[in-house]
Structure 1
Amino acid sequence: MIRDDVPFGPAEIRSYLKVTGWSTVSGGDTAELWRLAGSSEEVVLVPMKPGAPDFAKRARMLVADLARIGHVDDRTVTDSISSVFHDVTDLKASHPSIRDGSIPLDAGFELFQSAKRLRVASAAATLRRQGHFRNYPARAKEQARDVRLGQTRKGSYVVPIISQARSPMDVYERGQDQIDVEVEETLFDRRVTATMSRALGVLEEMAGGDRLPTPSEVTDSIGEGVSYELCQALARVVNSEAVDSLDVTFNWSRVASAPPGTPREVGFNHDAITVVERVSDQLKTNVYSGENVIYGLVTDLSRHPDDETGRVGVQALIQRRSRTVWMDLPDDRYHEAVHCHDAGIPVRVRGVLTSPPGGTASMTVTDFGPDPSLGGGLPTGSGSHTPG
């Protein structure tokens, strides 16, 4: 939310203060007073009227106070507040020749292009696990329009990818019987970032081993979001003459928490890319039919005590429309579905989807469990499921 020359509004300010230990003292529609926990001395004024003539001035004064209290500069505080609802993925290109914060034009072009390619490939894998996408799903192509690039930063050469993040605790409650289409659209960005992090982590692990990955391991990596296109996006940057290595750092939103099991940072040098290219070659020729991935809420449960499986309905977005997808789950997964339903925990389901227009949507399930991309915001005591 941009107000005048301040890149945030009251919602961002209040969320940032909450996660950094501040609490409200008093206030109303115009302004609020907040106090830092454990200190009776530090109190700041939070402007609450974005349309007020002095909002930008009061917001800058607040930033200056927070910078002084936190012993950081104003820019650091401004960036932290403005990105509190976002995940920021930093792509860092390194080379001995990059000394003044600049980069050769060809290498810079590949870095920016790869930012798009990495994101779109990850979006495609978020919707469908497939070794080689000859045609991306339309929703994946739209990722290039949904996310933003921040200003480049020094430190070799850093390009930040900014995408939305939102805690599921803010949007789903126990017993909720339908999804919110707008919320699901917002959560898609976080799911893409989680897919990207896991897939790059798997690639880094395969590239750093003492042997080449086996064909079976390469096929298994597809289930984690690795694809030919993702590998190529990495290779094109590091194979540039002006780049020795590419490091990717995931700065997760502080209001949505990091998805469990995701690496915060991964890195690829020329030796690693040699392995990545071998994986890429196998994925390009891998005969793999692909599996759909859906995300949503368990809304229907049906099982007779003597049945070996239970009937489960998951409401999800299919081609951006809300539909109930039916599936039969064995005992352990059915009980997990019951738990997710009772606790209001979003789920992720992977398998073969059949969704005829106007007909009943169904899925033959390969993997079922709580949505791992939102795991950091699940209710206390919720179950977990190893992502596949």
Structure 2
Amino acid sequence: MAIKLPEISPFKARVEEIDRMMNAPDFYSDARRSATLAREHMKLRQLLDNYAALEKAKKQLAENEEMLEDPNGDDELRELAELEIPELGDKIEALEKKILAAMIPPDETDSRNTIMEIRAGAGGDEASLFAADLYRMYSRLAERRGWRVEQMSASESGIDGFKEVVFSISGEDVYKALKLESGVHRVQRVPETESQGRIHTSTVTVAVLPEAEEVDVQINPNDLEITATRASGAGGQHVNTTDSAINIVHKPTGITVYCADERSQIKNRAKAMKVLYARILQVKQDEERAKYAENRKKQVGTGDRSERIRTYNFPQSRLTDHRIGLTIHSLTAVMEGELDEVLEALQAEDQRLKIEALMTSTKS
């Protein structure tokens, strides 16, 4: 059965609008904006090409069916027409799926770099050790994909673990790939300190924030309470002897950011502000989501951090993502950053739900 696609005219109008912008003399003066628009233009052109191919295939199918119904038609042509009908049907179905996927409104933050925050939850030392394991897992994933990781702040547990670690990942479509990692990750394994061999369950919270730009979030300097302090540490050469650590409080939201990774107060302040912008942007996005979250309870990646999204069971070498019912038995490889199967399955389900929402809005 043919799908009733959304109206194509808004997409044609958008191509014409970008064409006009690209012909302006100052189009390339803003390199980032011009690159973004060029990518959008290319995707829209592909959408229009696919739509034209769909119309052509539908017309051909109608002609073939009409030929079959003509009692006076040529038998050989009718036979050829009948043979082509299943192939045309498959082509139409494939093009409709491509077009629907291309019509999903783009997430403006998909191409952004990402700030990730990993915090130990329930489980004491074991939770902090798993926080370090997840940090290593995402770092290995970034290494495999050619992304760059920069640690921004960390609170170590003293047993090679992290109470909290904040880091940025930069590269192509980082946020698009990682945004569905936000939530509570549960680990089940036997701790090294467990003499009875009992399995312990611990939790770690992962937050994935798109790196904000100043145009996304306006911060009034008067709303900031900035304090320089002496960085604390385990002792020895790693303890700063100057007030280089920076603590920033955004008074309207109560968001606090602390950064002491660099010996330079200026560098720590720049890193802290980057995290602050990302957290405030996340608050704004969460407020927007809350307006329609009730209608999209099954949406993958809502960012609800109270939700258990995934379980890592080490005795069975099993990873289960509870949102999509995916279970794989290659946990060792996953912890080495081989997350492709999981990330691709999450993105596929996310796209399916968005297409479903698009079709629902088309019918109404």
Structure 1 or 2: more helix by fraction: 2
Larger Rg: 2
Bin for the TM-score computed over the shorter chain: under 0.3
